[in-house]
Amino acid sequence: MKTTITVNGESRALDVDPRTTLLDALRETLHLTGTKKGCDHGQCGACTVLVNGTRINSCLSLAVMHDGDAVTTIEGVGTVEKLAPIQQAFLTEDAFQCGYCTPGQICSALGMLQEVADNWPSQETEDLMGSIRLTDDELRERMSGNICRCSAYPQIVAAIRAVSGRPA
């Protein structure tokens, strides 16, 4: 089925079996293998990408549902030559061991920081009418959809903390 998706700023015309998930279209069809497949059931967050600026699990969405959407993957966040601040922060804070969950952690963190900037509440938000203050409890709760098997959580929190409050 014909589907056009703007991926990292570039319009890509696809013709895919309707069963193809957005994740598989990115990895197998467009060869953007930075986005990882972990559980393939929305439980681990490794496949997190930004769709029109919002973070989602790309494994739980069909490519054909994204005709006309703009998708940002880790390849669109920064490059080896020019790391995004959050990528540098993950290096500086040693926020990974094996690195498999890292692209999803970074895309999720970017989406999460925008949600905080938009004052979206979480279950840690006590005053629903106030301005969100990104405490560590808030940060951890908002990142709970991203699992790190190496358990680098303290460093991941530190890396996100390092870029929070300024443009990532």
Give the range of 51-59, 71-79, 87-95, 158-166 binding other proteins by CB under 8 A. Answer: 51-59
Chain residues 53-92 in contact with other proteins, contact rule CB under 8 A? 54-57, 60-62, 64-65, 67
Give the range of 14-22, 78-86, 93-101, 158-166 binding other proteins by CB under 8 A. Answer: 14-22
Give the residue among 4, 8, 6 at the shortest CA–CA distance from 107. 8
Does 142 sit near other proteins (CB under 8 A)? yes
Q: How far is the CB of 113 from other proteins (least distance, A)?
A: 11
Please identify which residue in 10, 15, 82, 128 interacts with other proteins, judged by CB under 8 A: 128
Give the residue among 148, 69, 61, 155 at the shortest CA–CA distance from 104. 148
Three-state secondary structure call for residue 37: coil
Give the residue among 85, 71, 88, 81 at the shortest CA–CA distance from 32. 71
Residue ranges of alpha helices (H) inside the chain are 22-24, 74-77, 85-92, 102-117, 136-142, 153-163
Q: Which residues bind other proteins (CB under 8 A)?
A: 1, 17-19, 21, 40-42, 45, 48, 54-57, 60-62, 64-65, 67, 108, 111-112, 115, 118-123, 125, 128-129, 140-146
